Amino acid sequence: MKKLLIFAAIAALVLASCSKSNDDNPAGQIVAKGLKMTSGYSVWIHGTGTATIDWGNGSAPQSIMLNPLPDDFGKLWDNEYKVIPPYTDFGLFYTVTFKGKNITGIDVDGFQLTELDVSKMPTLEFIGCYTNKLTELDVSKNTVLIRLECHRNQLNVAALIAVFNALPNRTGKTPNGYIKVSENPGKGGTGYAAAKAAAEAKNWQVVD
């Protein structure tokens, strides 16, 4: 009986530890830190099923129905994908959490973001995060990524090389990958050209 109680206690501790770990690092979420609202700006989000957005301002998470990522990337910013942040104080910085099992595209440009964690959303095909203050961007878990717009950030040459190296191989796939990295301070630094060439060898069009 004593052995059974000890075993039950150990099992409970293991389950509690796993539960805490999962709560701290749940799959199916994107976290954007340092978001500062600018008048007229919106978030665009694509996918299937439902998603929730915790705007980080104390309000209840917003639930939305997702629309599929368009085949024509020129329609990424159509109104059907637009979500307007609910902020009234434009002087504050917020941490925003997007949750959903099938989010395939996210665009959070122009918000002065300092961090963007997309590592727990492997379904992403499109990431737009340009005109922010990102110093690094980990896309190593985004294995179906097709389009990445991360220009006008603070990515140094090491950060840009890491992004190029992490891009999935799209050799023989249609469409080819597309990445825009212009107006980052690391563009053209030591090792940049070789990393860019390696990305292009993986069937990525690099716009710099």
Name the H helices within the chain: 2-24, 157-166, 192-201
Residue 79 CB neighbours (<10 A): 7
Closest among 195, 126, 118 to 156, alpha carbons compared:
195
| Number of other CB atoms surrounding residue 158 within 10 Å | 16
pLDDT of residue 40: 80
Paired tokens of 89 = 């104080």
Three-state DSSP state, 79: helix
Contact 124, 142 (CB under 8 A): yes
Confidence of residue 204 (pLDDT cuts 50, 70, 90): very high
Amino acid at site 136: E
User: How many CB atoms are located within 10 Å of the residue 38 CB?
Assistant: 13
Give the residue-averaged pLDDT of 166-177: 97
Q: How far apart are CA 150 and CA 135, in angstroms?
A: 11
pTM above 0.85, yes or no: yes
Query: What pLDDT score does 117 carry?
Result: 98
Q: Given this model, what pLDDT does residue 2 score?
A: 41
Residues 37-64, mean pLDDT to the nearest whole number:
94
Across the chain, mean pLDDT equals: 89
Q: 123-164, pLDDT tens digit by residue?
A: 999 999 999 999 999 999 999 999 999 999 999 999 999 999
Q: Does residue 19 register a pLDDT over 60? A: no
- pLDDT at position 8 over 80: no
Token readout for 151 is: 């220009």
Q: Are residues 37 and 85 in contact, defined by beta-carbon separation less than 8 angstroms?
A: yes
Instruction: Tell me the per-residue pLDDT of 73-129, one tens digit each, with 9 for 90 and over.
Output: 999 999 999 999 999 888 999 999 999 999 999 999 999 999 999 999 999 999 999
